[in-house]
Amino acid sequence: MLSAFAPGRIELLGNHTDYNEGVVLSAAIDLGVTVAGERLADGRISLASAGFEPAEIAPGQPLLRTGTWMDYPLGVVAMLRADGAGVGGFRAEFSSTLPVGSGLSSSAAMEVATAVFLRDLFGLQLPALEIAKLGRRAENDFVGVGCGLLDQVSSVFGRRQHAIFLDCRTETVERIPFPAGVDLLVVQSGVAHALTGGEYDERRAQCFEAARRLGVPALRDVTSAGLSSAPDLPDVVRRRAAHIVGENERVLEAVGFLRAGNIAAFGRLMAASHESSRVNFENSTPELDLLVEIALRQPGVHGARLTGGGFGGAIVAAVDSQVVDGVGNEIVLEYEKRTGIETRITHCRIGDGAVPDA
Ligand code: ADP
Ligand code: MG
């Protein structure tokens, strides 16, 4: 029996910067997917996961998208085989401590856990960054979900008490020390993600439009000074650009604050990020705004912001470890009292990635 673990991740700062070729900060968390299993000499692929329908692929049967959970592990197998890797039959059982569809990227954890498991089971040469890219290809090309590299990079490279910095243009990954004694709270707004709705695509298009008008390949290439001196931008385009440009600058500033152990300054950047989402990018919701407002009022909370795509979903707050559970209860109580919406809170510590010493 062989086993592998890959964690989920939380986006700390750098909202919608990925497709603008910008920079982003995230962290692997101490919740994730574990897979255990062994080779099967007859070439079968046998997959099981608690709470999901088990699946079996006969030897020689082509790997095709099914629209079910097994697409995540099968996608990884399909990509490895497309690259000529010798992946034979195997049995794999998954178990997870990650809530599904809560913005903690259980999908990337599934892919990365599968890739590391198969690497070890079949003795494959798979450098850390290749594992992340393999997971993204599985999700993009097999599952059919467009996503950047951040989720998989965080799940692979994460390290205890470190944030992960990713430059989405150069695909450079760096680990940044994260101050001790600070945990993360993820609070669900209870309003469904609407990324498949038109808003996400509309924001993308507006960002590309802004870059085109500013005469640059991507908003990554614009500074806030450059943006203020640019003439004749329609107000909406200017505000969308201001969010991306601001986020990139906040991420770079945040790296300095984290290196200096200045969690208070880091927290202020989180709050500024949320404010920019609310005003400039308009990807917040009244519920997310309320959660952030409640969170920021609690003693021991350094910062809070929406995390992920927005338009619903969750917030992340950086909170002193010693008070984190009490703060979580307060936020839930007040939010549920004021909205009548039932919420779910996840207390995470920053944890190790699947290849923490890469
Ligand atoms: P997120 O990545 O934000 O959690 P996604 O919709 O991208 O949400 O991925 C969730 C999907 O990943 C689930 O619908 C399921 O298909 C698959 N998945 C996640 N965790 C597991 C698990 N423990 N076992 C089987 N499939 C899982
Ligand atoms: Mg996902």
* Structural domain that includes position 93: 2-177
Find the 114 Cα to ligand 1 centroid distance in Å: 13
Q: How many CB atoms lie within 10 A of CB 89?
A: 16
Atom in ligand 1 nearest the alpha carbon of residue 95: 23
What local confidence, expressed as pLDDT, does residue 193 receive?
56
Find the 234 Cα to ligand 2 centroid distance in Å: 33
Closest protein CA for atom 26 of ligand 1: 69
Residue 358 lies in a domain: no
Q: Is the CB of 34 under 6 A from ligand 1?
A: no
- Ligand nearest the Cα atom of residue 147: 2
Residues 123 and 205 reside in one and the same domain: no
Catalytic residue among 18, 83, 120, 151: 151
Structure token digits, residue 324: 């984190």
Q: Which amino acid is at 9?
A: R
Burial class of residue 95, CB neighbours in 10 A (0-12, 13-18, 19+): middle
pTM of the model: 0.96
Q: Is the CB of 100 under 6 A from ligand 1?
A: yes
Are the CB atoms for 87 and 57 separated by under 8 Å?
no
Are the CB atoms for 29 and 7 separated by under 8 Å?
yes
Closest protein CA for atom 9 of ligand 1: 107
- CATH number, domain of 334, equals 3.30.70.890
Nearest to 111, CA basis, from 130, 139, 153, 86: 139
- CATH number, domain of 83, equals 3.30.230.10
The length of the chain in residues reads 358
pLDDT lower than 70: segments of the chain: 193-197
What local confidence, expressed as pLDDT, does residue 349 receive?
97
Residue 64 lies in a domain: yes
What local confidence, expressed as pLDDT, does residue 100 receive?
87
128, 162, 177: which is the final residue of a domain? Answer: 177
**Structure confidence by residue, pLDDT tens digits, 280-305:** 999 999 999 999 999 999 999 999 99
Asked about 167 being catalytic, the answer comes back as: no
Q: How far apart are CA 8 and CA 236, in angstroms?
A: 34
Residue 357 lies in a domain: no
Q: How far apart are CA 257 and CA 324, in angstroms?
A: 22
Would you list the DSSP string of 177-235?
E--TTEEEEEEE-SS---TTSHHHHHHHHHHHHHHHHHTSSSGGG--HHHHHT--S--H
